[in-house]
Structure 1
Amino acid sequence: MADTATADKNMTPPDTMRAWVLGDPQELTLKEKPVPVPGKAEVLVRIDAVAICATDLEILSYGTPALIEGGPPFNKNFTPGHEYMGTVAALGPGVDEFEIGDRVTVEIHAGCGQCKRCRMGMYTSCHNYGLNYGDKDKGHRANGFTTNGGFAEYAVNNVNTLIRVPDHMSDEEATLVVTAGTSMYGLTELGGLVAGESVVVIGPGPIGLLAVAVAKALGASPVILVGTRESRNEIGRQLGADYVINAREEDVVARVKELTGKGADYVVDCAGTETTVNQSVHMTNRGGRICLAAFPKSAVSFDLGALAVNNIYLYGIRGEGRSATHRAMAFMAEKRFDASLVHTHTFALEELPTALKYAKERIDDAIKVVVSTRPDAPNGAKK
């Protein structure tokens, strides 16, 4: 399946490439840009496919959390997009960890390596986020956030952000490693999940559905999904949910306690509303953990006292830190779960505006929408 991606070891990148550039909010234009040149500890990746994330939609509308040249990303020749995979097309000086022709998928963040958080391994919380421009270059980069991203034909990546893609894996599935890695990070590195503990996932979006898959693969029991769309709930069942609760038809908190006894050991809130935050608090067992994987758009009121008296731990996750994507890839490569179940649509690069519309408006029940730069390749876009 990977013949077209690995056969050519003499790939010569062009001087220019097609790339979508953000102007004013919601204004994307397909332009010609110079192909970037990899520096020390970097490679040039020919982007073969890129998935659309909800955060991409927020960047296009509001700018945050992107930070370009110390401010909002609008009208700065910025190319967004961060969940991409591709083929190594050129090597920076001294790079011997990869070869030209290797298929790779990417993490988003490469920390500065020198701040307190990076030295702890928490590079997604790098204190030098966004300080990678002009005279203030501190070494941090987050492709599609603080540097140019994947809605283009080429991008430069630090070698620390690359993960090899197995031959049997399609381009589209490889773009989902970041999403699965985010769920992995929340449950393992930050959450400390061990086999046999119960997990509730609220919200069957891409991260929520893959949180179900990761939790099940890690041995959680039972794994409970809370959602309102039956089509997505069914995908959750296929990915390993032992029980599915329709929030429109049942008392979610009462049902979770019925299924778990005294409440869940872990709750992963992938909806991010005042209602779901409070449901999370009241369905979590004493000493349990709540992971906020979605962010409320405004301040919310919730039962802080219940957290305190029940020793419940509340934490948020941002991205896919501590190499969680490498573990997610290991699970996906071994077919511990089928991440491709959340991929619903693929469009060509020039059709990005349509792809974004499908993702934003959930047209045709879109879940994960992928954009391909080579839709006719054997392991490329599926029509």
Structure 2
Amino acid sequence: MYKPADVTTSPDYPVPDQMKAWVLGTPDQLHLREKPVPVPQRAEVLVRIDAVAICATDLEIIHSGSPAKILGGLPFNKNFTPGHEYMGTVVALGPGVDEFAIGERISVEIHAGCGQCKRCRQGMYTSCLNYGEPGKGHRANGFTTDGGFAEYAVNHINTLARVPDTMSDAEATLVVTAGTSMYGLTELGGLVAGESVVVIGPGPIGLLAVAVAKALGASPVILTGTRDSRLAIGKELGADRVINVAKENAVEIVKQLTGGIGADYVIECAGTEGTVNDAIHMTNRGGKICLAAFPHDPVTMDLAHLVKNNIYVYGIRGEGRSATRRAMTLMAEKRFDAARIHTHTFALADLPTALRYARDRVDDAIKVVVTTRDAAALSSAAE
């Protein structure tokens, strides 16, 4: 039975030596395999994964490999376990860890930066200058180090947030999504209550950006998109006005709602050339645009308009500056119902089906969550 030296365990939470984990094969292929249960080191804990949500970035990693290779880092890793939006239970403590206790329910951030580069010292660990270098201390579980499509994972204590008893496992997996929106609006954007926000694109990050903006006092909060069903959820999460861009001119409506000057903040979550330029033209002078989507192709934009109107543009990649913990607080206090974007649940043994639902938006899937509770089904799927 699992008992590494200097690691604290409990008989109440027995840990096996081996675990089931989905690993990358060739592009677009995953295989359920047995892997050794990882061992937490200093400032780390072992997490029994109870639920994990599927993100569009997971689909990109399964298709193309780790994003670290973009930086000259990892190749396509055929033993890598993706999945980064997970929650679970602490079941073992690394040497000297007393900040968390065995048995506590936690949700996780993706990134633990190296802690020594300029960006990490600024709290921008999602932009760690040693990204993809575990030897330097960087971890991005599900991106560059093994993630959550498995029974267990190791996490740095800086990436953990306690989950209240009133919050379901599925809702706790959404904290990273809410934290990403929080990071873009507050830590990078500096949102102040009373300022206007437009969210372009009612995907998971866009919908929770609406919820976070409203909870923080933004006014008005406007959501644009093409699917009436998604826009309706945006209304439930706090949008003061929704705009179906197939029926109305979003730039004109935003100008009308903001006294003709445009919005203070625009969060672009669609990632198309048209929506990027809409963002530029609906932002007021001195306003800010957060680019939260990853366009697949180069974008031609009205750069002159940005310059002439002193509009600030910044990109965002994931959470940062502990924004996830602040998002957790808002969710725990029921300032918004993040579970509104959770549409489907599957067992971890059915991960390929869950991924298909997320990729193809089957039944208008928004956030698909998989659970690891059915051990028998997981063992059967591995045979």
TM range (shorter): over 0.9
- Give the match for residue 138 of structure 2: 140
- Give the match for residue 287 of structure 1: 286
Contact between 1:182 and 1:319, CA under 8 Å: does it hold in 2?
A: yes
Counterpart secondary structure, 1:179 = helix
Tell me: CA distance 1:175–1:153, structure 2 relative to 1, closer, same or farther (3 Å): same
Could you tell me how far apart the structure 1 residues matched to 2:172 and 2:208 are? 14
Could you tell me how far apart the structure 2 residues matched to 1:257 and 1:143 are? 41
Q: How does 1:2-151 map to 2 (within 5 A)?
A: 10-67=12-69, 70-75=73-78, 77-132=79-134, 137-151=135-149
Deviation sequence 1:294-319 (CA, Å, 0-9, x none) = 01112111111111111100001011
Could you tell me how far apart the structure 1 residues matched to 2:77 and 2:11 are? 37
Counterpart secondary structure, 2:89 = strand
Tell me which stretches of 4 or more aligned residues in structure 1 moved more than 4 Å: 66-69
Could you tell me how far apart the structure 2 residues matched to 1:193 and 1:246 are? 25
- Give the match for residue 276 of structure 1: 275
Shift of residue 119, structure 1, vs aligned partner = 1.3
Which ranges of structure 2 fall in alignment gaps of 5 or more residues?
A: 1-9, 376-383
Could you tell me how far apart the structure 1 residues matched to 2:68 and 2:28 are? 14
Could you tell me how far apart the structure 2 residues matched to 1:74 and 1:16 are? 20
Could you tell me how far apart the structure 1 residues matched to 2:66 and 2:106 are? 27
Deviation sequence 1:122-164 (CA, Å, 0-9, x none) = 11110111111xxxx1010000011000000000000000000
Deviation sequence 1:263-303 (CA, Å, 0-9, x none) = 00100000011000000000001110000000111211111
Amino acid at match of 2:47: V
Q: How does 1:1-383 map to 2 (within 5 A)?
A: 10-67=12-69, 70-75=73-78, 77-132=79-134, 137-261=135-259, 262-374=261-373
Contact between 2:83 and 2:147, CA under 8 Å: does it hold in 1?
A: yes
Identity %: 76
Contact between 1:59 and 1:66, CA under 8 Å: does it hold in 2?
A: no
Shift of residue 10, structure 1, vs aligned partner = 2.4
Deviation sequence 1:63-113 (CA, Å, 0-9, x none) = 1414499322332x1000000000001000000000100000000000101
Contact between 1:256 and 1:263, CA under 8 Å: does it hold in 2?
A: yes
TM-score (norm. length: structure 2) = 0.93
- Give the match for residue 3 of structure 1: none
TM-score (norm. length: structure 1) = 0.93
Contact between 2:64 and 2:76, CA under 8 Å: does it hold in 1?
A: no
Counterpart secondary structure, 1:321 = coil
Alignment length (residue pairs): 364
Deviation sequence 1:18-69 (CA, Å, 0-9, x none) = 1001011011000111100111000000000000000000011111414499
Shift of residue 364, structure 1, vs aligned partner = 0.5
Shift of residue 9, structure 1, vs aligned partner = 7.0
Tell me: CA distance 1:360–1:100, structure 2 relative to 1, closer, same or farther (3 Å): same
Could you tell me how far apart the structure 2 residues matched to 1:274 and 1:65 are? 22
Contact between 2:184 and 2:290, CA under 8 Å: does it hold in 1?
A: yes
Could you tell me how far apart the structure 1 residues matched to 2:97 and 2:50 are? 21
Counterpart secondary structure, 1:48 = strand
Could you tell me how far apart the structure 1 residues matched to 2:327 and 2:76 are? 30
Contact between 1:110 and 1:161, CA under 8 Å: does it hold in 2?
A: yes
Contact between 2:58 and 2:83, CA under 8 Å: does it hold in 1?
A: yes
Shift of residue 215, structure 1, vs aligned partner = 0.3
